[in-house]
Structure 1
Amino acid sequence: MSLRIDAHQHFWRYSAQDYPWMGAGMDALRRDRLPDEVLPLLDAAGLDACIAVQARASEAENVFLLELAQQYPRIAAVVGWVDLFAADAGERLAYWRSQPRFAGVRHLLQDDADVAATLADARFARGLHALQERALVYDILVRGPAQLAPVAAFCARHDRHWLVLDHLGKPAIGGDGEDPWRRHLREVAALPHVLCKVSGLVTEVAGARLDADAIHRHLDAALDAFGADRLLFGSDWPVCLLRADHAAVTALVRDWAARLSADEQARLWGDNAARCYGVLSGVEN
């Protein structure tokens, strides 16, 4: 039987110094968020496992998440952080690749002053090459069509292993820029080694009300672009709590995915994540 996987969760022991991005209006996040809190939510949603994704730019994050994965076997994989600009990035990546459950790396591109410049930087390209040589996944985090625009060309240059677009590229749901976002999403999806996380959408809704139809319209665009073979469900817990709880996020995607065949739903809810991040079927409960 296929594993059902929440492919995007975060854990932390909160301190203002370590998580400066948790600013005004994010009181729901500014406390410890650990696996004991979310495991019952996974059970309620019928999910077997999760993938823990970095939330701070430090290799200490890797140690923290891997220790949690050792303590909680339902954390099936870790997407951590390595300075891909560093001259010794290859050595650092080789070390982390040797650690059980370390499956990928993410850099917070959305916070860079010039995303296109980062993606074109020769040092960053060297780091990506070293990462893909070691069969590690790279999670791409950008916000909106302007930042998404250079991603397709970047992905085309780095095609030796899986790349994963987080949160559909963070479209402004209910805001401006939907047509450019759709165009750039299709450009990225044209590359067969790129997958896309159906995650992080509730926090991108512009209005005060969560418009399920608008969210489903964006999920339709992702399905049209990537197909069911390259979509991964992720809750983005606990960041989703800024707008909705885990059950509500899961329900939004479950209701939308009812149109898919049983095989397509199995891919969305776990098979694609397991294939991409190398998750074994024997994850313990």
Structure 2
Amino acid sequence: MRRKTGVCLRSRTRCNRPLRMVNELRGILKKGAISMIIDTHTHFYDPFRAQGVPWPEKDDEILYRRALPEDYKALAVPEGVTGTVMVECSPWVEDNQWVLDLAAADPFIVGLVGHLEPDDPEFAAHLERFAADPVFVGIRARVDVAESHGLAAAEMLVAHDLELDTGLHEGVPALAARFPELRIVVNHIGGIPIDGGPPDPAQLELMRQAAAHPQVYCKVSGLMDLRSQVKPAPTDVDFYVPVLDALWDMFGEDRLIYGSDWPVSDRSGREYADIQRLVMTYFTARGEEATEKYFWRNAKAAYKWIDRVG
């Protein structure tokens, strides 16, 4: 099937899908025709709990505050979000349990990507413990998981049917080749910078190598707060289209996933609604099926999160 390109968003005079139709599709999403929206990249923490937090730092004027499910839902539910896969931001092992306890009290949390270090001698024991909870869907590894301890961790993830969230490292394509059953989600579009122009082909090459493996997904997250080279981040989708088109060409409609990066997204100077509107505009221009896949179906395939409400 031929992939649709981004020309509709960049050159409306040549577009055979007029802006009116894009707006209609956005209206359909808001009215609930898209069955659900799962945000796969949020962080919850409370710096004022007894033990404090290792992150964010106290001098972080934007992030050093409570960021709890009720705070997130106040922003996300009005935008149609029906659940979230939370990504643990703390290196403290017991903070994985802290989030699982939050999830036990709130079915809006449909999954947890835990923070466990593959080089921790207790990694296997920790993974066994947390994997017993069906909300625990995988881990986020900040090291090059293709190293020896990473390979052992990958074997354990496959054995427990868990996924791996990671940055884009040179070892990712090799890891994907060695473990074809390991679902891998590359966070924050692999760190590709966005400046409004075509991305550097050299910066795309490693992502292209990773995308060649069908079990590798790309999380379209951090666009405004992490990847945009302009601050405050532009809200016009055309600024992001060159990179989004490159990702679409590599991953297609079946392996791109929605994530907001809340509350880190606040560093962009934009609202949650702005962040969602950006990707909504891009994906609704590709039709309802692509939109539904991006906003939840692909996340279901990658994370195997559980529907805790319906």
Structure 1 runs, 4 residues or longer, greater than 6 Å off = none
Where does 1:70-109 land on structure 2 (aligned, <5 Å)?
A: 70-109=104-143
The one of 48, 54, 78 aligned to 1:19:
54
Identity percentage over the alignment?
A: 27
Q: Is the aligned partner of 1:139 residue 2:165?
A: yes
Residue 99 of structure 2 corresponds to 65
Residue 23 of structure 1 and its aligned partner are, at CA, apart by 7.9
Please tell me the residue identity of whatever aligns with 1:31: R
Residue 112 of structure 1 corresponds to none
Residue 174 of structure 1 corresponds to 195
Q: Distance in 2 between matches of 1:2 and 1:13?
A: 31
Residue 145 of structure 2: SS of its match in structure 1? helix
Alpha carbons of structure 1 residues 265 and 19: separation in structure 2 relative to 1, 3 Å: same
Residue 17 of structure 2 corresponds to none
Moved more, 270-279 or 237-246: 270-279
Q: Distance in 1 between matches of 2:196 and 2:62?
A: 24
Q: Does the CA-based 8 Å contact 2:284-2:290 persist in structure 1?
A: no
Residue 250 of structure 2 corresponds to 225
Residue 89 of structure 1 and its aligned partner are, at CA, apart by 2.4
**What per-residue deviation string (whole Å, max 9, x for no partner) do you get for residues 227-265 of structure 1?**
111111010100000002211100110111122121111
Moved more, 250-259 or 175-184: 175-184
Q: Distance in 1 between matches of 2:308 and 2:58?
A: 39
Residue 51 of structure 1: SS of its match in structure 2? strand
Where does 1:205-284 land on structure 2 (aligned, <5 Å)?
A: 205-211=228-234, 212=236, 213-243=238-268, 244-283=270-309
Q: Structure 1: which 5+ runs fail to align? A: 110-117, 143-147
Q: Is the aligned partner of 1:162 residue 2:157?
A: no
Q: Does the CA-based 8 Å contact 2:196-2:242 persist in structure 1?
A: no
Moved more, 221-230 or 100-109: 100-109
Q: Which has the larger radius of gyration?
A: 2
Please tell me the residue identity of whatever aligns with 1:165: V
Alpha carbons of structure 1 residues 218 and 175: separation in structure 2 relative to 1, 3 Å: closer
Residue 185 of structure 1: SS of its match in structure 2? helix
Q: Distance in 2 between matches of 1:48 and 1:165?
A: 23
Residue 127 of structure 1 and its aligned partner are, at CA, apart by 1.4
Please tell me the residue identity of whatever aligns with 2:109: I
Alpha carbons of structure 1 residues 259 and 23: separation in structure 2 relative to 1, 3 Å: farther
Residue 183 of structure 1 corresponds to 205
**What per-residue deviation string (whole Å, max 9, x for no partner) do you get for residues 134-179 of structure 1?**
111110124xxxxx44422232223222110111112122299732
- The number of residues matched between the two structures is 270
**What per-residue deviation string (whole Å, max 9, x for no partner) do you get for residues 55-112 of structure 1?**
0112112111101111111110000122311344233212211113011101224xxx
Q: Distance in 1 between matches of 2:171 and 2:239?
A: 25
TM-score w.r.t. structure 2 length?
0.80
TM-score w.r.t. structure 1 length?
0.87
Alpha carbons of structure 1 residues 121 and 150: separation in structure 2 relative to 1, 3 Å: closer
Q: Does the CA-based 8 Å contact 1:78-1:104 persist in structure 2?
A: yes
